[in-house]
């Protein structure tokens, strides 16, 4: 079987583990966190390597809480996202306090990735179907035009990604008749309504199609993409004001730049999976209940690693 990796972006976890860190909040009956379920689903779909992108100062605690457990069932590698991990000729602004965004997070894994790979957030639950679809795409041969990167992205139904506790930001996808991405419209403050979904502003509610496909930062790439990502980071830093302390090199924005420059072709893989995430503290209770139902329905065992 062709080797494939799952890259989990976990460097955004706070400096203190435990209480208050949403990525490490138990949501399963045996103390499982959301990452446990994503890894379980990825391995079941055929992925055979897990890459954790973390901060180096959290390495010991991270390995104790989840890494050592996963090392018993799969090949594991670690990559470290650091403020000063920059291309030659660049230095971090003195007042910058956070890493450089999801683009840099994936780029940090360049040395441990030689195979096709998927990328996910540590604190999002995606469901089984999108892992299967991404894996199937990644192990296929693709006939993209020369110089064009074949990329895939899981497309979630907007109505399956909303919170009952407040507005969310979603990237609403525009696709052509073949299911290839044309563009993503970042839309803020989308709320659930009796009719489906709407954008909430000071002027009121503007209806939006709840059946639209949205991006939840779940991507699939070939290893050659990493060289492009490296070039893009240099370009991003070159354009950045040296005193800018908050600019971020974001994966969706760079993918869109490739798309517009006709250097990338993005296949949107529709999924009916329900997305869970702890966007608000109040979301945790509903996420816990959702996992209880999945276990009752036989989707998962009560003890995931029994």
Assigned domain for 203 exists: yes
Assigned domain for 77 exists: yes
- In SS3 terms, the chain reads as CCCCEEEEECCCCCCCCCCCCHHHCCCCCCCCCHHHHHHHHHHHHCCCEEEEEECHHHHHHHHHHHHHHHHCCCEEEEEECCCCCCCCCCCCCCCCCCCCCHHHHHHCCHHHCCCCEEEEECCEECCHHHHHHHHHHHCCCCCCCCCCEEEEEEEEEHHHCCCCCCCEEEEEEEECCCCEEEEEEEEEEEEEECCEEEEEECCEEEECCCCCEEEEEEEEECCCHHHHHHHHHHHHHHHCCCCCCCCCCCHHHHHHHHHHCCCEEEEEEEECCCCEECCCCCHHHHHHHHHHHHHHCCCCCCCCCC
Assigned domain for 301 exists: no
Domain that holds residue 115: 5-296
Q: Model confidence over 254-302: pLDDT tens digits?
A: 999 999 999 999 999 999 999 987 766 777 888 899 999 999 999 999 9
Assigned domain for 116 exists: yes
pTM of the entire structure?
0.92
Number of domains present in the structure of the chain: 1
- Mean pLDDT for the chain overall: 89
Assigned domain for 260 exists: yes
CATH code, 210:
3.90.550.10
Query: What's the pLDDT score for residue 15?
Result: 44
Assigned domain for 148 exists: yes
Assigned domain for 305 exists: no
Q: Model confidence over 208-231: pLDDT tens digits?
A: 999 999 999 999 999 999 999 999
Q: Model confidence over 156-179: pLDDT tens digits?
A: 999 999 988 888 889 899 999 999
Assigned domain for 226 exists: yes
């Amino acid at each position: 079987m062709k080797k494939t990796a799952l890259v989990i972006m976990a460097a955004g976890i706070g400096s203190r583990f435990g209480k208050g860190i949403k990525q490490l909040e138990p949501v399963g009956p045996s103390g499982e966190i959301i990452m446990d379920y994503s890894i379980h689903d990825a391995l079941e779909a055929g992925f055979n390597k897990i890459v954790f992108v973390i901060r180096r100062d959290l390495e010991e605690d991270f390995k104790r809480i989840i890494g050592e457990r996963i090392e018993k069932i799969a090949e594991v590698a670690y990559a470290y996202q650091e403020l000063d991990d920059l291309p030659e000729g660049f230095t971090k602004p003195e007042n910058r306090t956070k890493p450089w965004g999801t683009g840099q997070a994936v780029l940090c894994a360049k040395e441990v990735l030689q195979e096709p790979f998927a990328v996910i957030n540590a604190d999002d639950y995606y469901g089984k179907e999108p892992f299967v679809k991404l894996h199937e795409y990644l192990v296929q041969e693709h006939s993209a035009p020369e110089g064009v990167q074949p990329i895939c992205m899981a497309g979630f139904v907007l109505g399956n990604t909303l919170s009952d506790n407040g507005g969310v930001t979603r990237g609403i996808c525009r696709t052509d008749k073949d299911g290839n991405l044309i563009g993503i419209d970042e839309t803020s403050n989308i709320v659930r309504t009796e009719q489906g979904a709407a954008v909430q502003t000071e002027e009121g509610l503007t209806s939006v199609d709840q059946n639209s496909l949205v991006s939840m930062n779940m991507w699939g790439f070939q290893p050659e993409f990493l060289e492009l990502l490296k070039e893009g980071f240099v370009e991003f830093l070159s354009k950045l004001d040296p005193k800018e302390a908050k600019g971020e090199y974001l994966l969706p924005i760079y993918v869109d730049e490739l798309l517009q420059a006709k250097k990338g072709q993005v296949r949107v893989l529709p999924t009916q999976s329900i997305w869970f995430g702890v966007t608000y503290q109040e979301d945790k209770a509903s996420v816990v209940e959702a996992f209880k139902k999945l276990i009752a329905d036989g989707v998962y065992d009560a003890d995931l690693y029994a």
